[in-house]
Amino acid sequence: MRDAIVIGGGPAGATSAALLARHGHRVTLVTRAVPPAPWLAESVPASARKLLDRVGALEAVEGAGFLPNEGNTVWWAGRPEHSERFPADEPGFHADRAGLETAMLGLARSAGVHILQGTPVREVGRDSEVWSVETGAETIRSRWLLDASGRGGVFARRDLRLKEAQTSTLALVGRWVCDGGSDAEPGHTLIESYEDGWAWSVPLSRTERCVTAMVDPRRTALARKHGLDGMLASEMEKATRLSDRLGDGRSAGKTRACPASLYGASQYAVPGALLVGDAGSFIDPLSSYGVKKALSSAWLASIVVHTALMEDEMLHAALEFYDRQEKEVYRTYRARSIPFFDDAVDAHGHPFWEVRAEAARRATGSTVAKEAPGQDPSDPVSLDSEAEAFVGDPRVRRAFEEIRDRAELGVRAGTTLSTVDRPAVVGDRIALDPHLTSDALPGGTRFVRNIDLRRLVRLAPGFDQVPDLYEAYNRDGSTADLGEFLAALGLAVGAGFLEFERSSV
Ligand SMILES: Cc1cc2nc3c(=O)[nH]c(=O)nc-3n(C[C@H](O)[C@H](O)[C@H](O)COP(=O)(O)OP(=O)(O)OC[C@H]3O[C@@H](n4cnc5c(N)ncnc54)[C@H](O)[C@@H]3O)c2cc1C
């Protein structure tokens, strides 16, 4: 009997299995011989390094020999070129999907995970709280099941998956040889929106690029008569600036198509089982955050299962926490796509974009303010959409302005400040942890913008000058971003966790 069976050896499966094995649990991972769409290239941004480090995978990925991802060059909604450069000494990665999976599986193997590769799962059953997983060759039993089988969704598809019905996306993927002669930024991911689709290109070497067009078979005017090669070529002609950048690039090998439609899940955690990574939800690759999302989901899943295996009484709270976080992550990513879709609607005015903007709004129930930058959704420790949304509240803006104008900070604990125990990640477990509440934010808030509000609110009354408070906050080794620290301080006052002692200016 195993403690956990993980289905799938992609970033989510390999990472969750490795982390659980490092906690001392007996884990079996079952996966196909090769991942779906192994020819796909994935742009992993520099911001993924923090997560890769947290899950202990940075060294393995750095050592896999992927081309450094030096940044993005974007032509979106007809606007002028926008180029974002990642730090030269800490770039992201341009990974081929099969290579990434090999690196991640190596990590799981060295953590002690028992890996069955090349034996896809055929059936999953549960009896008396024990899972049995059939591979055709053998039956494996375990206490926990982690479905990390990606779009395949071995368990998710039973009745948990919620497809996005309004939009449908197909990725046309080709490999192109480009001399790169005129490209000043050959290590960049290139992205361009056009009237009825969008294209992007990921370099795999100095001369070869993966070129992809994202189309909606119902709405994009596709050159169907010319087969997949002709369709991709015709889409690339629409992406004029990206194509210009590729110069006289030419196709090197046949074009493939793979499904890329969006979906979420009605529940991400049920007794004894979790949906991890893309098995639970799929976000638009527009963000280049699929791998990050898979890693953060895996990290949290390993904490939840570890907690449940060690502390029976925390089972319910841990499952609820996971379900809430994964729903929140999906909702936040969808919300973040709204401004991009809105801009594309304004520029291109095509149903391809209109339907996407509308579907994202419906999925998030949101009118999300364009200017609210918000928390990185792949940081599951601190994602709290209620608090994030409150950062945009006029009370926070007023508090922020008053803090700026005051000669002395002069704050004390707010009159409606209280605490309530809520599940949170504490160390390597889910535990009940005091969260702050007030009349303005009654739900219970612990972190905002990666700032520990409990610590901030405890420290603030002892300091008259914000720089001194900031220094004291960082004294435990934290490296809080100053802008985020000030946003959190503004929120603490705006939400009534803190209040001004006197109205001195
Ligand atoms: C066209 C396209 C482009 C993308 N581009 C990017 C990008 O640039 N950057 C980025 O970060 N993300 C990108 N993504 C998203 C990214 O690929 C995924 O988010 C990420 O791979 C999810 O990891 P995962 O481990 O959850 O699932 P997957 O990587 O899909 O892994 C699923 C695993 O389950 C296994 N499996 C499936 N069925 C079974 C079965 N029956 N039995 C056993 N094993 C099974 C598979 O073999 C595989 O190992 C892109 C996705 C698409 C479709």
Give average pLDDT by consecutive 10-residue segment, the chain, 505 residues: 96 97 97 89 92 93 94 94 92 94 96 94 92 91 97 95 92 86 78 96 88 96 90 94 84 88 96 97 86 95 96 94 91 89 95 95 66 51 70 90 91 95 90 93 88 94 94 87 92 95 64
* Whole-number pLDDT of residue 373: 44
Task: Find out whether 6 and 120 touch, Cβ atoms under 8 Å.
Answer: no
170-259 belongs to CATH 2.40.110.10: no
Separation of CA 38 and ligand 1 centre (Å): 9
The response to whether residue 12 sits with its C-beta less than 6 Å from ligand 1 reads yes
Bridge partners of residue 429, in order along the sequence:
426
Ligand 1 atom nearest the C-alpha of 291 is 11
Minimal CA–CA distance to 341: which of 351, 354, 350? 354
- Report the interhelical angle of 315-348 vs 290-310 (nearest 10°): 170
* Ligand 1 pocket test target in 15, 16, 29, 40 with most atoms within 8 Å of CB: 40
The CATH 3.30.9.100 portion of the chain extends over 170-259
30, 32, 86: residue to mutate for ligand 1 pocket, most atoms within 8 A of CB: 32
Q: Is residue 94 a contact partner of residue 202, using CB atoms and an 8 Å limit?
A: yes
Task: State the closest ligand 1 atom to the C-alpha of 34, by its place in the atom list counted from 1.
Answer: 47
Of the candidates 484, 467, 234, the residue with the CA atom closest to the CA atom of residue 375:
484
The residue to mutate among 66, 278, 333, having the most atoms of ligand 1 within 8 angstroms of its beta carbon, is 278
Asked whether 9 lines ligand 1 (CB < 6 A), one says yes
Domain 2-66+92-165+263-339, what fold? FAD/NAD(P)-binding domain (3.50.50)
CA of 190 to the centre of ligand 1 (A): 21
Give the nearest ligand 1 atom to 154 CA.
Answer: 41
What lies within 8 Å, CB to CB, of 418 at 6+ separation is 436, 437, 438
Q: According to the model, what pLDDT value does residue 182 have?
A: 62
Report residue 229 as tokens. 């090669």
CA 406 to each of CA 183, 477, 503, 504: distance values in angstroms, whole numbers, following the listed order: 51, 28, 8, 6
User: Is 40 close to ligand 1, i.e. is its CB under 6 Å away?
Assistant: yes
* Count of residues in the chain: 505
Residues of the chain with CATH 3.50.50.60: 2-66+92-165+263-339
Alpha helices (runs of H) in 260-384, residue ranges in sequence order: 290-310, 315-348, 351-364
Which phi and psi angles does 182 have, rounded to 5°? -95, 0
The Cα–Cα gap between 62 and 58 comes to: 6
Task: Specify whether the CB–CB gap between 241 and 192 falls below 8 A.
Answer: yes
Q: How far is the CA of 330 from the centre of ligand 1 (A)?
A: 16
Say how far apart CA 41 and CA 202 lie, in whole Å: 7
pLDDT at 370: 39
d(CA 435, CA 424): 9
Ligand 1 pocket test, pick from 149, 161, 164, 209 with the greatest ligand atom count within 8 Å of Cβ, gives 149
Cα 111-1-314 angle, rounded to 5 deg: 75
**Eight-state DSSP code of residue 282:** B
Beta bridge partner(s), residue 134: 123, 139
What pLDDT is attached to residue 60? 93
Contact 8, 148 (CB under 8 A): yes
